[in-house]
Amino acid sequence: MRILIYSINYFPELTGIGKYTGEMSEWLASRGHEVRVVTAPPYYPRWRVGGGYSDWKYRGEAINGVRIFRCPLWVPQKPSGLKRILHLASFALSSFPVMFLQLFWKPNVVFVVEPSFFCTPGAWLVSRLSGAKAWLHVQDFEVDAAFDMGILSRGALGNMVLALDAFVMRRFDYVSTISKKMMERLGEKGVGSEKRILFPNWVDVESIFPVESSHMRDALGVGKEEIVCLYSGNMGEKQGLDILIEAARLLVHETAIRFVICGNGGERERLFALAKDLPNVSWLPLQPVDKLNDLLNMADIHLLPQRGDVADLVMPSKLTGMLASGKPVIATARQNTEVAEVVSGCGRIVEPGDASGLAHAILDLSGKAELRKAMGESGRLHARKNLACDAVLSRLEAVMKLDCSAGRA
């Protein structure tokens, strides 16, 4: 097959959508398919274009059998509601001519990743003009989340944007997303059941696995008896990371408990300032892929904070690695959300915003080594059964092959 993938985020970004889109593209190329990607230069989660790339030049490259077209975009240093909109729109405008040129390549499938909503009309148009199947993959209900988080305000214009978002979704041949609850949200937007596909984020269970000791603990000077509570990932608005600092403050006199916060993002500097007087909080930069397993195994307890107003609009991609590492998870999530359903079998659930509840859950689990071990084993089993990379991507490939075969027939 000739598969055209359209995504603002791509490898070498190490977290979130860029990581998964890169792995998917390379996996499909390794299976013998021709894969092209229209994307931006890497900028996430630092909100700064990576070294060797430009935010105002077009660039072509090939990485691991995938042909990549990098298109310019504006990257705000401090993203806000309006700045995010301009940022996403700048990529949609610069990348559309490159997408249009792919008509001459005649793809079989046009696969667009949301975010960004701004890219979906162009992807749909290119699919129709080229005779390709149009596939929308929703990693994040960005429009819904923007309203629920107060980034955008409701009203006549807001309702029009929501209606347009749903209208465009219904035009695609397939619409996939990463959790069962998000599948239900697609149904609420009028996407028919015959079009909806569950396509969860995956984890390489062969490269992420439990180990007896972590070199990173030694490098950070963590004592053998210390309990490490690790958050690793993007530091943005949707994560609600203030709760980590509040919980650390409540547990500051528990000298055997250490919080390690790893990653980057728009909120990092503010959070660092909030915690500057806390001796039980350590900070690490975003780690390269070859150190990810060591990082995840540093944890005795993984922390997965999440704002309540984005429940089931996103499914945190970092959860897959947490589960595969065989360590328990404490998540802030409302009951009956999918995060709560997954984590309840391998950790603890705390109400979003409840710093006291989070501190109590940490303190309770820190004294129960056998329970932590059992929870971690349960999470590892869930990852192996449901989230293994080859199994998830093989299902995606099978749908594409079947549909393309039917089209040729």
Q: Looking at the domain assignment, is residue 283 inside a domain?
A: yes
Evaluate whether residue 75 is within a structural domain. yes
In this structure, is residue 208 part of a structural domain? no
Specify whether 295 is located in the same domain as 356: yes
pTM: predicted TM-score of the whole model, two decimal places: 0.87
Within this chain, do residues 223 and 74 fall inside the same structural domain, yes or no? Answer: no
Q: How many angstroms separate the CA atoms of 90 and 236, rounded? A: 21
Looking at the structure, tell me whether residues 36 and 119 fall in a common domain. Answer: yes
- The answer to whether the CB of 117 falls within 8 A of the CB of 143 is yes
Is residue 207 situated within a structural domain?
no
Q: Do 351 and 223 share a structural domain? A: yes
Residue 236 lies in a domain: yes
Q: What is the CATH number of the domain that holds 65?
A: 3.40.50.2000
Q: In angstroms, how far is CA 127 from the centroid of its own chain?
A: 25
Task: Tell me how many domains the chain contains.
Answer: 2
- Domain presence at residue 158: yes
Sequence-distant (≥ 6) Cβ neighbours of residue 215 within 8 angstroms: 294
**Which tokens in the block code for residue 344?**
């309840």
Task: Give pLDDT tens digits for 319-340.
Answer: 999 999 999 999 999 888 889 9
Do residues 281 and 318 both lie within one domain? Answer: yes
What is the pLDDT, as a whole number, of residue 151? 63
Full residue range of the structural domain in which residue 58 is found: 2-202+388-408
Model pLDDT for residues 50-74, shown as the tens digit of each residue: 889 999 999 999 999 999 999 999 9
| Of 401, 402, 404, 393, nearest in space to 24 by CA | 393
Rounded to whole angstroms, the Cα distance separating 51 from 325 reads 31
In a shared domain, residues 362 and 232:
yes
DSSP 8-state symbol, 233:
E
Q: What is the pLDDT of residue 409?
A: 40
> Distance between CA atoms of 7 and 114, rounded to whole angstroms?
7
Q: Provide the pLDDT for residue 163.
A: 85
- Residue located via tokens 């347009």: 164
13 and 135 together in one domain: yes
Q: What share of residues in the chain are helix, strand, coil (percent, to 5)? A: 45, 20, 35
- How many Cβ atoms from other residues are within 10 Å of residue 88's Cβ? 20
Parts of the chain with a pLDDT under 50: 408-409
Q: What number of CA atoms fall less than 13 Å from residue 20's CA on the CB side?
A: 27
